[in-house]
Amino acid sequence: MTMTSIRRFTFAKSLLLLIALGFSIGAQAQRIQELASFAGVRDNPLVGYGLVVGLDGTGDQTTQAPFTGQSITNLLSQLGVTVPEGTNMQLRNVAAVMVTAQLPPFSRQGQEIDVTVSSVGNADSLRGGTLLMTPLKGADGRVYALAQGNVYIGGASAQAAGSSVSINHQSAGRIPDGGIVEQEVPLRLGTADGTLDLFLKRSDFENARRVVAAINREFGAPIAAALDGRTVQLKLPGDSNSRVSFLARVQSIDVATDRGPARVVVNSRTGSVVLSDTVTLNRAAVAHGNLSVVIDANPIVSQPNALAGGDTAVVPNADITVQQEGGALQMLETSADLMDVVNALNALGASPQDLMSILQALKASGSLNADLEII
């Protein structure tokens, strides 16, 4: 092999390596199951109102939560017990609760689901309580499940001599397998023409194109077609058994997806700032200083002369000081790596709240190459 051939071979290897590195940096392999969901295959939220009994004096105070007493009266009347009108029931071992659950797709009658129980009134704790049979309804008002069982509360609480201490939340808990499905939600895979839509979790035309290409390559036939940046239409087999096998195979296909646009997410309530690994910075100069106003009360006592015949008086007075911290310009160099971006922002020495303002200013100036999302 000549020297020229060796150089060409080395250059070709380097070029292939750069292409491979660029592809690996810009894309990552994920299963379609992680990227998309089938049309109609989803959970259905359920909600109901019920009572938790058996509490150790930590239930609702009926004087402040009258609906708890009304609920007990209605329940007892259904069980054949008549409560005299005007009776003031002080039931500290009962709490009114809202019960929520998620009905999974393809659920059948008799299957069990987890339920969450949350206090509605002023109960101190639901520990040790038992949820009485509660119908759970869907958005259409129909009952799809019944919930009942012992409420599990994480953590603990204690009270003594007017002091109290608690660990974790005491007014909400769970009942594992506490709900029984009573009615099924009809669900048909596919439409009358034998197609089923696949919905991507993030709208992206490039990812939709890659998903279609991966599915068609897996089956060796054009069975998938992109309708838009989020929807991919699939051609289904005729019988139900073949459809299940077909969809299971589709879910397991690996797709080299694009990471999507760079994004910076700022939580204005907690001060959290999260940067994706594709965030970059252009060169910029930043100056940021804090302005504080301090007002100190400094009253003056006015004392009259001995023969003046006046009264001693306190004259209000205040000292006002304005302080402004120095905000010298700090240079931010071009950063193409996430760690360089983090180091550059940390070098400013700003607090999380100040960092939010700096990021917004960098975005407005065009130096921050990312979408800024404030939640």
Whether the predicted pLDDT of 83 surpasses 50: yes
Cα–Cα dist 227/211, whole Å: 12
Lowest mean pLDDT among 44-48, 73-77, 222-226: 73-77
Domain 188-258 has CATH 3.30.1330: no
Q: Identify any residues that bridge with 369 across adjacent strands, giving them in sequence order.
A: 280
Q: What pTM did the predictor assign?
A: 0.66
Query: Do 69 and 89 contact (CB within 8 A), yes or no?
Result: yes
DSSP state of 127: T
pLDDT at residue number 19: 33
Strand pairing report for 44-53 and 130-137: antiparallel
pLDDT at residue number 10: 38
Cα–Cα dist 206/214, whole Å: 12
224-226: strand order across its sheet: 36-38, 195-200, 231-235, 224-226
pLDDT digits (tens, 9 = 90+) for 177-205: 999 999 998 888 888 888 999 999 888 89
Kind plus residue range of the DSSP H or E element containing 329: none
* pLDDT > 90 in the chain, percent: 33
The candidate with the shortest Cα–Cα distance to 325, out of 286, 362, 285, 288, is 288
- The domains of the chain are located at 44-181, 188-258, 263-293+326-374
Cα–Cα dist 125/92, whole Å: 11
The candidate with the shortest Cα–Cα distance to 230, out of 247, 254, 213, 205, is 205
pLDDT at residue number 218: 92
pLDDT at residue number 17: 35
Query: Which pair of structure tokens corresponds to residue 149?
Result: 């069982």
Cα–Cα dist 73/254, whole Å: 59
Query: Do 352 and 293 contact (CB within 8 A), yes or no?
Result: no
Whether the predicted pLDDT of 375 surpasses 60: yes
DSSP state of 335: B
Lowest mean pLDDT among 4-13, 113-122, 257-266: 4-13
pLDDT category of residue 8 using cuts at 50, 70 and 90: very low
pLDDT at residue number 160: 56
Tell me the one-letter amino acid at 243. Answer: R
Cα–Cα dist 183/109, whole Å: 6
pLDDT digits (tens, 9 = 90+) for 199-255: 998 888 988 999 999 999 999 999 999 999 999 999 999 888 899 999 999 999 999
- Complete DSSP assignment for 257-298: EE--S-EEEEETTTTEEEE-TT-EE--EEE----EEEEEEE-
The candidate with the shortest Cα–Cα distance to 358, out of 273, 292, 261, 260, is 273
Report residue 339: phi and psi, to 5°. -65, -35
Query: Which pair of structure tokens corresponds to residue 128?
Result: 């040790």
Whether the predicted pLDDT of 174 surpasses 60: yes
Lowest mean pLDDT among 113-117, 142-146, 151-155: 151-155
Q: Is 255 exposed, middle or buried (0-12, 13-18, 19+ CB in 10 A)?
A: buried
The mean per-residue pLDDT over the stretch 19-44 comes to 71
More confident of the two residues 356 and 212: 212
Cα–Cα dist 95/67, whole Å: 10
Whether the predicted pLDDT of 335 surpasses 80: no
Lowest mean pLDDT among 8-12, 79-83, 85-89: 8-12
Whether the predicted pLDDT of 41 surpasses 70: yes
Cα 83 to Cα 53, 78, 165, 256, distances in angstroms? 18, 11, 37, 68
Cβ neighbors of 346 (< 8 A, separation 6 or more) are none
